[in-house]
Amino acid sequence: MPGISRRMRSEEEGTVQCVVVGGSLVGLSAAIALSRLGIDVTVLERSPARAEEGGGGLGVDVALLGQVTGITDQPPVLHGVDRDTTAWHLLQGWLEAHAVRRAGVTLHRRTPATSVTPGHAESASVVTAGGRSHRADLVIGADGARSTVRGAVDPEHPSARYAGVLLWRSMVDEDALPAGVALPAAGEPSREVYAGPYRLVTYLVPGAAGETDVGRRRLNMVWYDPQQRELLRDRGLLEGETIHGSLAPGTLPDPVRERLAQFAAANWPSPWREALELALRDGKVFGTPIVHYEPMRMARGRAALAGDAAHAASPMVGGGFRQGLYDVAALTQVLMATASPAGIPAALGRYQELRLRAAARHVADSERATAAYLAHATQDPGT
């Protein structure tokens, strides 16, 4: 969206104030896009520092990302035969570097939001853990599947549900693989393999510093496991059907780690088998529960949801970040046509009209795909 003009001003000719809750991929994309409208954006992010590693891999629609953010240089991706891929920490760092260089964007780390008042005729506000209240003409909740902002936008429907599947995830450097293990060719596509109750999705991502040459890339693995409900309950991460967190690297119980290693050695193909053995041995596997959140609304007053905060789905149907970029594009569209802060609640109503049905359909597709996978896993429980 090149050439966006700075046009929305307050009645006193001050700059419109926006608070984006969440400094991950969708939140930073929103901050960049809204700053191009002349809006002052404050991003509140709970993590203390930019990630230097960690997170998983993902696919990136490079053209859509450039269209939504206006960034013309290439993000750190590996161009594959079937899609472009990257690692979360590489893309997050790249977006953050672009965001903080923009006039009108301020990022506060170690600043979790604890409550949100969506406002309407009056201003919205976001209160942080330190007790500070941030006044805003506009609040965007891009704070993930366990969103705080969602409770203000839809207080009767605030929580995502556990989908019944835990993802074991890891990335392993190619140069860490044992000698003699054949590396994937430059044109290696994304693949999926089923064995017993499990599904393994594999694809390549750039190295830790963005390297894309064969031998310097990383092997990204996503292992779908439908048998860890009790583990999540025992760790206090699952209460009823509500997820409270993920399993961090290095926290897998030894019996679980050993069983996964034995299964990988017996069932998964090379070089992914060897990569998983290394990751499990070195404590670099983490567990992310899949959750579903099908939205009934995406905006209230001066607050709106975007990304996983608005519509959490399984990576089984793909396109999670793409859906978040569609949200940002729609927000930009309705706000660009808004002359003053007084029109923001109505603009967010139009945003909901543009995105609610498609977002809900994406989650419904995910629920059907997950149900089909769980039915397969029940029929073939494996060992």
Q: Which tens digit of pLDDT belongs to each residue from 90-106?
A: 999 999 999 999 999 99
- Domain span at residue 196 reads 163-290
The count of domains in the chain is 2
| pLDDT at residue 339 in the model | 85
Residue at 46 is within a domain: yes
Q: What CATH number does residue 183 fall under?
A: 3.30.9.60
Q: What percent of the chain has pLDDT over 90?
A: 90
Tell me which of 290, 322, 353 is where a domain ends: 290
> Residue 361's pLDDT band (boundaries 50, 70, 90)?
very high
| pLDDT at residue 49 in the model | 85
| pLDDT at residue 382 in the model | 62
| pLDDT at residue 155 in the model | 97
| pLDDT at residue 78 in the model | 97
Q: 116 and 212 share a domain?
A: no
| pLDDT at residue 15 in the model | 83
| pLDDT at residue 1 in the model | 47
Can you give the chain as a three-state secondary structure string?
Answer: CCCCCCCCECCCCCECEEEEECCCHHHHHHHHHHHCCCCEEEEECCCCCCCCCCCCEEEECHHHHHHHHCCCCCCCCEECCCCEEEEHHHHHHHHHHHHHCCCCEEEECCCCEEEEECCCCCCEEEEECCCCEEEECEEEECCCCCCCCHHHHCCCCCCCEEEEEEEEEEEEEHHHCCCCCCCCCCCCCCEEEEECCEEEEEEEECCCCCCCCCCCCEEEEEEEECCCHHHHHHCCCEECCEECCCECCCCCCHHHHHHHHHHHHHHCCCCHHHHHHHHHHCCCCEEEEEEEECCCCCEECCEEECHHHCCECCCCCCCHHHHHHHHHHHHHHHHHCCCCHHHHHHHHHHHHHHHHHHHHHHHHHHHHHHHHHHHHHHHCCCC
Q: Which tens digit of pLDDT belongs to each residue from 255-298?
A: 999 999 999 999 999 999 999 999 999 999 999 999 999 999 99
Averaged pLDDT of the chain? 94
Q: 240 and 167 share a domain?
A: yes
Q: Which tens digit of pLDDT belongs to each residue from 47-96?
A: 998 877 778 999 999 999 999 999 999 999 999 999 999 999 999 999 99
Residue at 220 is within a domain: yes
d(CA 84, CA 66): 14
Q: 23 and 155 share a domain?
A: yes
Q: What CATH number does residue 44 fall under?
A: 3.50.50.60
Q: Is 189 a residue whose pLDDT tops 60?
A: yes
pTM for this model (two decimals):
0.95
Q: 43 and 135 share a domain?
A: yes
Q: Dmax of the chain from CA atoms? A: 69
d(CA 247, CA 251): 6
Residue at 12 is within a domain: no
> Residue 2's pLDDT band (boundaries 50, 70, 90)?
very low
